[in-house]
Structure 1
């Protein structure tokens, strides 16, 4: 096996990619949402050719930044949080606040994702759509697991998840614009504005599937009644 194909070499390359993504975050945070590859390479203490040894092209690096953002949101929202033990309102506020915390730490990164275009094979798609698709898949997975746990049959989870994520992402620039001049965007304000809108979408989805939830009651109690004789 060639040295370049050993697990150790893969680890080194993975670390190098993460270091370049870290550098990209710092450049965007400091200089705004239109970073140059030269600035990113310089910030990482490397050359531009070395950067391109770890990323196929600019689109590859941009996609990696979008993936990092999605992972950061998900780490704050889901893994250590039991949605079944909380009320729908608490769960929703937790999820939206987690998203807002990531954006508030790196507002220019969000602006970069909103403005940036991922071009591959001559076709372009907004980086923010890439984030929306990933968050939609993760949210739909969490929702499906919850419904399966109480044997509730629902349809079109992904459409509703996409609508909920779309509300959060599409209102973020308005929130950041209204927060200009602040030391840090107010995440509680964002959650307070957006949570009722998202709940409206989720409530309509649940009612369409014959489920009525009291948003102030722990979720497991409400869902348990679905299967009650």
Structure 2
């Protein structure tokens, strides 16, 4: 009787635990399925280009269109998932360099490494990038939505925060930093669109493009530094006390 009483005394709690466990398993399953469908969408885009249809994606995934809509709500939801997937790839490609940012890596090498990783990723996935651009999912964004442009901005803000930490040490005005980030991102994304739309075919290879992006990035950084009354020594690491000097008037 004691066993019966112990079990029957809290039936709602037992049912809740069972329900929660089932719900968690279902949520995990949905995450896995959504990831698999997003992978299939990327493959379909690579095969069909920016004109890919939901039929093409469903065929690539081996599922019905209703299943796509069930998991993503609508076409825009699936497209956002593709953008988030590519955004995650951008972050992962930059993560090692970001972790090494506080080491003896020079600032120029750090920025160059981030840009080369980005250019390499775009160069391997031009159809996906063109698809994201055509659906306005690769433009400058401050939405924090995990899209491709948003993840690029996140990478840049990590680096910008390292600059800002040094600037705070000399009581510099930091208001121009977000503008510099927006300028670098805007010009870089515009150049990327040009590159995949014809620049590559006209002889601008990965190395040339990455070198150009690095030069224009430093152009914006140096102009912003001058506006703030400081000079950055790009051949030093961010952790070096001589990395930043105040302009003597």
Shared fold (TM-score, shorter chain, > 0.5): yes
Q: Which whole-Å CA distance do the structure 2 matches of 1:64 and 1:223 have between them?
A: 44
Q: Does 1:158 align with 2:178?
A: yes
**1:180 is matched with which residue?**
201
Q: Does 1:127 align with 2:140?
A: no
Q: Which whole-Å CA distance do the structure 1 matches of 2:237 and 2:213 have between them?
A: 21
**1:44 is matched with which residue?**
61
**2:144 is matched with which residue?**
none
How much has 1:97 moved relative to structure 2? 0.9
Structure 1: runs of 5 or more not aligned? 117-125
Counting only pairs closer than 5 Å after superposition, residues 1-229 of structure 1 correspond to structure 2 as 1=16, 2=19, 6-81=23-98, 82-84=100-102, 85-116=104-135, 126-129=136-139, 130=141, 131-148=148-165, 151-152=168-169, 153=172, 154-176=174-196, 177-180=198-201, 186-221=205-240
Q: Which whole-Å CA distance do the structure 2 matches of 1:89 and 1:29 have between them?
A: 33
Instruction: Judge conservation of contact 1:92–1:199 (CA < 8 Å) in 2.
Output: no
Q: Which whole-Å CA distance do the structure 2 matches of 1:216 and 1:138 have between them?
A: 21
How much has 1:78 moved relative to structure 2? 3.1
- State the number of aligned residues: 216
3-state DSSP class of the match of 1:180? coil
Q: Select the structure of larger CA radius of gyration.
A: 2
How much has 1:155 moved relative to structure 2? 2.3
Instruction: Judge conservation of contact 2:236–2:243 (CA < 8 Å) in 1.
Output: no
How much has 1:149 moved relative to structure 2? 6.4
3-state DSSP class of the match of 1:220? coil
How much has 1:222 moved relative to structure 2? 5.0
Q: Which whole-Å CA distance do the structure 1 matches of 2:223 and 2:202 have between them?
A: 37
Q: Which whole-Å CA distance do the structure 1 matches of 2:202 and 2:65 have between them?
A: 34
How much has 1:151 moved relative to structure 2? 4.1
TM-score using structure 1 length: 0.83
Compared with structure 1, are the counterparts of its residues 223 and 137 closer, same or farther at alpha carbon in structure 2 (3 Å cutoff)?
A: farther
Q: Which whole-Å CA distance do the structure 1 matches of 2:193 and 2:121 have between them?
A: 14
3-state DSSP class of the match of 2:232? coil
Runs of 4+ aligned structure 1 residues displaced above 6 Å come to none
Compared with structure 1, are the counterparts of its residues 93 and 207 closer, same or farther at alpha carbon in structure 2 (3 Å cutoff)?
A: same
TM-score using structure 2 length: 0.77
The CA RMSD over aligned residues, in Å, is 2.6
